[in-house]
Structure 1
Amino acid sequence: MKAKEMGKTATAIISCSDPRIVPEQFLGLEFSECAIIRNAGGRTQDAMRSILALDAVGGLGTVVVIHHTDCGMSHTDEAGFEAATKSRHPALAEPGYVYGAIADPEKTILEDVKFLKSQPGLTDHINIFGLVLDTHTGVLKQAALHSLVLILAQRKHFRLPFNSSFHLVPKERDIAHDLLIFTHTTKYVNQLAATPESMSSGAGTARASDSDP
């Protein structure tokens, strides 16, 4: 698939460089389904150059940010990273440099989604949301800052076009499965965003198909 053929439905996933965290595996992605951007901690500030380049080359419709528990970036704080850099690479140490330490992934995912949404014009055509992966259980939790899932919640009869092998706790199942639509079946992103139903008619719940686990 050529870059110019990706169109506005292309999805980019930002995740950590941790070798245990491989989006293609835990999201069950096929080759060429999504662009994968990986850096220490999966921080969005580091990913901006790639996001802008991917959008310019092929057009992005969705950016998914994924942080995870037991991240190496949570093993120390900013002061610790600064001290280590001064010790190992004194010529490269810069006072006040932000390393992106992660004290709590459920908080930093909100910060990173908010950072992307605050970039001028970025949300004009790109949907942005975040997930937190429990490294040990494989459970995905959704961040609280996205609203597109509410559009899906209004579509009571919307059914997932694929089977998922995710392990999800019951109370998180519906929303997490809804979010997978944006990573597994990217062609739906603009279709859903372009024709949102009224949010005033009450909230329904988008259910997974009967064959889903």
Structure 2
Amino acid sequence: MAAGAPSVPFSTDFATDATEIQKNLEEKNKQYASSFDKGHLALPPAKKYLVVTCMDARIDPASAFGIDLGDAHVIRNAGGNARDALRSILISQHLLGTKEIVLVKHTGCGMLTFTNTDALSVVAQNAGVGVLQSTYDFQPFPDLEQAVKDDVAWLNGNAALIGKTISGWVYEVETGKTRRVV
């Protein structure tokens, strides 16, 4: 552990029986690996761009945005949040050569449905009062289009980023269509 790092109590007792999810992963991976022929792809993304999008399970970035394996980095988090993605964006740009950022949020996003107070209350109910500071910011947003504009503006204003070709988009989970937010 690094000097000064807080110690975190954790259990070393792990379940040894595979869950149904784990069994499915193993089986599906065997099928995938049996015909895999892309091991030659280079580490840096071939098309020199990255996508920041939501972790929502209804979004398949490769299919929806035409991304072939090896083309781009895809960074996913709750809400397609630029601030949460910054560490990965910096690595992608500075160490792996990406030049363009495509930020995609989506309709029906869970981040539109709660406030910080709501989320803190649920965490306290499930994990215990005081496990998170009352100032913890889940970064919800009440307006989808404005959230896209705000994240694009934040990225454009960040001095650590290079190649400031940044665009903002909304993906419609109902139709599969995207539209650019200007």
Does the TM-score normalized on the shorter chain lie above 0.5?
A: yes
Following TM superposition, by how much is the alpha carbon of 1:51 offset from its aligned partner in structure 2, in angstroms?
A: 0.5
Rounded to whole Å, the distance in 1 between the matches of 2:170 and 2:117 is 25
- 1:100 is aligned to 139
8 Å Cα contact 1:60/1:126 also seen in 2 = no
* Equivalent residue in structure 1 for 2:107, among 50, 69, 73: 69
Following TM superposition, by how much is the alpha carbon of 1:120 offset from its aligned partner in structure 2, in angstroms?
A: 0.8
SS at match of 1:67: strand
Q: How does 1:142-181 map to 2 (within 5 A)?
A: 142-144=180-182
Q: TM-score, normalized by length of structure 1?
A: 0.61
- 1:80 is aligned to 118
- 1:3 is aligned to 43
8 Å Cα contact 2:156/2:164 also seen in 1 = no
Rounded to whole Å, the distance in 1 between the matches of 2:55 and 2:160 is 28
Task: Quote the RMSD (CA, aligned, Å).
Answer: 1.7
- 2:170 is aligned to 132
1:2 alignment partner AA = A
4+ residue segments displaced more than 3 Å: none
Greater gyration radius: 2
Q: Which has the higher helix share?
A: 1
Rounded to whole Å, the distance in 2 between the matches of 1:86 and 1:132 is 32
Does 2:59 align with 1:21? yes
Rounded to whole Å, the distance in 1 between the matches of 2:73 and 2:98 is 10
8 Å Cα contact 2:51/2:73 also seen in 1 = yes
* Equivalent residue in structure 2 for 1:55, among 86, 93, 101: 93
SS at match of 2:79: helix
Q: Which runs of 5+ in 1 are unaligned?
A: 145-213
Rounded to whole Å, the distance in 1 between the matches of 2:69 and 2:59 is 17
1:111 alignment partner AA = D
Q: Which runs of 5+ in 2 are unaligned?
A: 1-40
